[in-house]
Structure 1
């Protein structure tokens, strides 16, 4: 990047180099010190003095703010791209980012861990455990007592949450036949639905019977009638804990990873169902 800066011969090239610096700072933020965002802001101000109407500058600065959950500032930059840019690629990217921000606002992450996890396009079993316990307060299903930790979890940042998630006794959050939890495995939408459906049954108890009790025909174009998780997917869908991937093509994406924001939105739906059943 330093070499590119020295080779920039006009304002357009200088702005492109500065945008490149913003992207590098954002992409390498975990390797930089805590002041990386101030570097982004300084670079943005430098580029704005040259070209205050550059859509790429708006977009990548907005993306930097979004990565630290400063959603109001991020939204302002993405709004500018959507409203004033003629670049179809950046327009589409800005619309996607704005839709994601709207979903995050609906999910209402309340913890620092939750605010980070909702930004992810996929989550691990450890992160799912964290959302369930920290955000969803699902520890009540474990009577507040953590299970003994498997060897592959000891020392993990979310070890306490994993112990409580295992103690819930919910299928899908248990250890495997070798006694491992596999905290870094990705969670598929099918696996997610299985856990949420089982949690809902446990959380509601006998207060309400879930529909459907049996599913004979798959309504989804990407699931067959005999797939094991079809019933769980239907329960999650009909209780607002999961949304189709594409209503037009009737796809549910059972083997696709669940995103952080979709997982938390489903947990919020679970909370609403349980609270309503208890008259809260």
Structure 2
């Protein structure tokens, strides 16, 4: 009996010692110095890309309440943005341990989803399946919270599962209780990609790019439009039947041929770039210094001129190059004396391109071209060839 009392006393002392050694909450210094306020500010900073400032806010929330789950969710996301996925997953597991109530538990599910989307195969080869599992857990708690649907939509989008992505973004818009603007933008983008129906893997990948480059458009012209195959079919084969002196034929090693483009040797899209260079599409030729500048973004005006050149070459209608010169501009931001005016008019009157802003009618000639818009234009161009 006596030994039992001693055991109970020792156990109680041990528990007291354990809790005494645990993290202690700091006292607030101001009225708004609360865990909830710091997490809210941290989330805003995270959204703005201010990672270090967000870390300070989440860390302060943790100092004020060492077992406040949302603080750990925020800290886990900060580590994710810093590509420290091992630590981020560990922190997110702590968030799950401290989660209290449905709202915090769903926030943890969403936190894990966001980490898997950020890290993808750097976290796990089955990252999409893991994301779906967290989504299922979240909707099991409540089917009326927008965040899980929005991030599941993002996961499907970057996995090229566009139909599933549309369904998730559509659900966010139906719920109308958060992520409305973000979901509306993503919904419109994915619907545009679905209409464009990219057939190649590279086409699906470029469809998600906001500002395509010279390398990207070369790949789309070859992989989606298959412009090289069309040129081969429609362009008569040329034979060199001119007389050549035998002596001239035997001369070798005298001249060193310079490559058309010297900066694409290690580019993943080199084959597509070489193909468009060989065709000689206006606007996609190497620069005078023999560089192609594959990472340089293209403008809407440049894109229009490329399409105009393809149309002229493949249709054989030479007067397309001057058809709208002197015509009245249909766009308030496009003068009819600009060098790309005719190309823009060719593309827009044929429905290959449209105004950037349908409300104001502005074309935005110097603006970038998104992958989705390029694919839609190529699909329309293909139907006219």
**TM-score if structure 2 supplies the norm length?**
0.65
Indicate how the Cα distance of structure 1 residues 260 and 215 shifts in structure 2: closer, same or farther if over 3 A, else same: farther
- Whether the 8 Å contact between 1:243 and 1:252 is mirrored in structure 2 is yes
Indicate how the Cα distance of structure 1 residues 149 and 20 shifts in structure 2: closer, same or farther if over 3 A, else same: farther
Q: 2:114 aligns with which of 23, 26, 33?
A: 23
Query: Post-superposition shift, 1:59?
Result: 1.0
Partner of 1:115: 204
Partner of 1:178: 289
- Whether the 8 Å contact between 2:207 and 2:372 is mirrored in structure 1 is yes
Q: 1:155 aligns with which of 266, 278, 282?
A: 266
Q: 1:223 aligns with which of 315, 328, 334?
A: 334
Query: Post-superposition shift, 1:162?
Result: 0.3
Indicate how the Cα distance of structure 1 residues 177 and 141 shifts in structure 2: closer, same or farther if over 3 A, else same: farther
Cα shift readout 1:149-187 (whole Å, capped 9, x = no counterpart): 622111211100000111111210001111100111111
Q: Which moved more, 1:70-79 or 1:215-224?
A: 215-224
Query: Post-superposition shift, 1:7?
Result: 4.5
Task: Between the two structures, name the one with larger relative contact order (CA 8 Å, sep ≥ 6).
Answer: 1
More helix by share: 2
Query: Post-superposition shift, 1:251?
Result: 0.6
Query: Post-superposition shift, 1:124?
Result: 1.1
Q: Give the Cα–Cα distance (whole angstroms) in 2 for the partners of residues 5 and 152 of structure 1.
A: 49
Q: 2:139 aligns with which of 30, 48, 58?
A: 48
Partner of 2:152: 61
Q: Which moved more, 1:147-156 or 1:202-211?
A: 202-211
Instruction: Identify unmatched segments of 5+ residues in structure 1.
Output: 275-280
Indicate how the Cα distance of structure 1 residues 228 and 123 shifts in structure 2: closer, same or farther if over 3 A, else same: same
Q: Give the Cα–Cα distance (whole angstroms) in 1 for the partners of residues 185 and 155 of structure 2.
A: 15
Query: Post-superposition shift, 1:210?
Result: 6.9
Partner of 1:12: 103
Indicate how the Cα distance of structure 1 residues 52 and 265 shifts in structure 2: closer, same or farther if over 3 A, else same: same
1:200-239 matches, cutoff 5 A: 200-206=311-317, 209=320, 212-239=323-350
Indicate how the Cα distance of structure 1 residues 6 and 256 shifts in structure 2: closer, same or farther if over 3 A, else same: farther
**Residue 251 (structure 2) pairs with residue 140 (structure 1):** no
Q: Give the Cα–Cα distance (whole angstroms) in 2 for the partners of residues 184 and 151 of structure 1.
A: 14
**Residue 186 (structure 2) pairs with residue 97 (structure 1):** yes
Q: Give the Cα–Cα distance (whole angstroms) in 1 for the partners of residues 290 and 124 of structure 2.
A: 38
Query: Post-superposition shift, 1:63?
Result: 1.2
**Residue 216 (structure 2) pairs with residue 127 (structure 1):** yes
Query: Post-superposition shift, 1:253?
Result: 1.2
Task: Give the paired residue count.
Answer: 271
Instruction: Identify unmatched segments of 5+ residues in structure 2.
Output: 1-75, 77-90, 238-257
- Whether the 8 Å contact between 2:121 and 2:127 is mirrored in structure 1 is no
Q: Give the Cα–Cα distance (whole angstroms) in 2 for the partners of residues 269 and 50 of structure 1.
A: 45
**TM-score if structure 1 supplies the norm length?**
0.88
Indicate how the Cα distance of structure 1 residues 141 and 164 shifts in structure 2: closer, same or farther if over 3 A, else same: farther
Larger Cα-atom Rg: 2
What SS does structure 2 have at the residue aligned with 1:38?
A: helix
Q: Aligned Cα RMSD in Å?
A: 2.4
Q: Which moved more, 1:30-39 or 1:178-187?
A: 30-39
